[in-house]
Structure 1
Amino acid sequence: MSDPAPGRDQGRAERRLWLYVRLGVPFVRLLASTWRVREIGREGWNQRRAAGLATITALWHGQLLVLTSHHRDLGAAVLISEHRDGEIIARVVEAFGYRTVRGSTSRGAGRALLELVRVLRGGIDVAITPDGPRGPRHSFAPGALVAAQRSGAPVVGVVAHVSRAWRLRSWDGFEIPKPFARVTIAYSEPTPVDVATPREAVEQVPRFEALMRALGERAAMRDGGAGG
């Protein structure tokens, strides 16, 4: 007689996942409605969207909540890992109007890269967390740059500075802005990865890590100091 326990466990996990999404998404929408958001330098990205040209958006994993909430319902695709915690993130971002591409630099990488290039060539923006799914925090894995080199789509770095936030004790310091927090979001200019080979794209990693650091400093400076 077969053991029904695995099926029961899977059913419980699905119910928990459904509950997280059913309760979590309205809560985030309500919370986000209180944030005071200011944008810096988004004009280049807006111009590409207006022209129907796809862009790769690079954001840190710890800022997924605030940035995917702010850019919801734009029809972009988000690269989400195939790890267990990725399933929760995938359901949440889909509830916010995003498409998802499953995979990461460590699991499902080749298939995910092909899908990203296909989506970008179809004129759809893609968002990637280059330090996900496992870190180290604020390290720029080269997958976004290889996708940019192969698709011809430029990269726009996006970094938020939050005046007041809860920060989880996770590897990425996951941020949940508190009610009525100031959220300052800095965008880079669309930056092409204009090199001949994927190997040369990988060599661009230090340049883009520096770009993301500069954006974080710019957002913090515009907000007037460190968040709490």
Structure 2
Amino acid sequence: MGKSPLSRAVGVLKEDPRVARMVPWLAAGLMRCLFRLLRVVHVDRAYPERCWARGERIIIAFWHGRLLMMPFAYPGTPSALLISQHRDGEYLSRIATRFGFEVVRGSATRGGMRAVKQMIRAIRERLNLAIAPDGPKGPRAKVKSGVIEMARLTGAPIVPVSFSASRRRLLKSWDAFLVPVPFSRAVYIWGEPMYVPRTATKDEVAQYQEALEARLNLLTMKADNYFR
């Protein structure tokens, strides 16, 4: 079955370089406006702060569905963001650079080894890493091994974080993408750092995956229920 006229029109627009320049600028502006309209509180932000006080760089992990407000979780912190090499990832990359992120392009299926090398270099250059371990296409809320291996190779602790709002909309996407309603109360909740020893075996890596998944799910549940 061929594409609909609307789908073809959207595809043409995505290829237009003027649209490629305008959309990230507009999206970043709308995100900033939305964030300013929220009443935000932070819970347990001391966890990443203690790591930084010890001179550590961290791997910030969050579910893909909570991505929208993550640029504001700890603004001003030098970080590199992992974004897939999918075509739509180009728009996300341009948006991320407007928030001061360095961008690493790749995933478990495309550009994987190149992305790993870039992320290791980012840690060595004193950048934090920001990763959605269930991205870019799911399954939702399932940690892939890549983030654990990155922690094992670099020695950087994984610090999980989740975001939610008192009033929110969940899109009908694979990741149940959360959009906070303007003028809502919102919360970032951080979790304890997770250190993965360099000597971790394959079975132990799988155990760390399960542990991180459980922590992220717990933080997300706490965030969703925080204002009740």
Matches within 5 A, 1:105-144: 105-144=108-147
CA–CA separation in structure 2 for the residues paired with 1:12 and 1:81 = 18
**What's the RMSD between the two structures over aligned residues?**
1.9
CA–CA separation in structure 2 for the residues paired with 1:26 and 1:10 = 20
- Structure 2, unmatched stretches of 5+, are 1-11
State the SS of the aligned residue for 2:96: helix
- In the other structure, the counterpart of 1:214 is 218
Q: Deviations over 1:195-224 (max 9, x none)?
A: 514623244211111111111122234322
- Structure 1, unmatched stretches of 5+, are 1-8
1:176 equivalent to 2:179? Answer yes
- In the other structure, the counterpart of 1:55 is 58
Per the normalisation by structure 2, the TM-score is: 0.88
1:117 is displaced (CA, Å) by 1.5
CA–CA separation in structure 2 for the residues paired with 1:96 and 1:180 = 22
- In the other structure, the counterpart of 1:13 is 16
One-letter code aligned to 1:192: Y
Check the 8 A contact 2:164/2:180 in 1, yes or no.
Answer: no
Q: Deviations over 1:41-61 (max 9, x none)?
A: 110201222443200000111
CA–CA separation in structure 1 for the residues paired with 2:128 and 2:162 = 17
Q: From 98, 103, 107, give the equivalent of 1:104.
A: 107
Q: 1:198 to 1:125 in 2, by over 3 A?
A: farther
Check the 8 A contact 2:14/2:20 in 1, yes or no.
Answer: no
One-letter code aligned to 2:22: L
1:178 is displaced (CA, Å) by 1.4
CA–CA separation in structure 2 for the residues paired with 1:83 and 1:198 = 31
CA–CA separation in structure 2 for the residues paired with 1:145 and 1:12 = 36
**What stretches of structure 1 move > 4 A for 4+ residues in a row?**
9-12
One-letter code aligned to 2:223: A
- In the other structure, the counterpart of 1:42 is 45
User: Which range moves more in the overlay, 159-168 or 206-215?
Assistant: 159-168
Per the normalisation by structure 1, the TM-score is: 0.88
Q: 1:197 to 1:14 in 2, by over 3 A?
A: farther
CA–CA separation in structure 2 for the residues paired with 1:52 and 1:129 = 23
CA–CA separation in structure 1 for the residues paired with 2:138 and 2:201 = 22
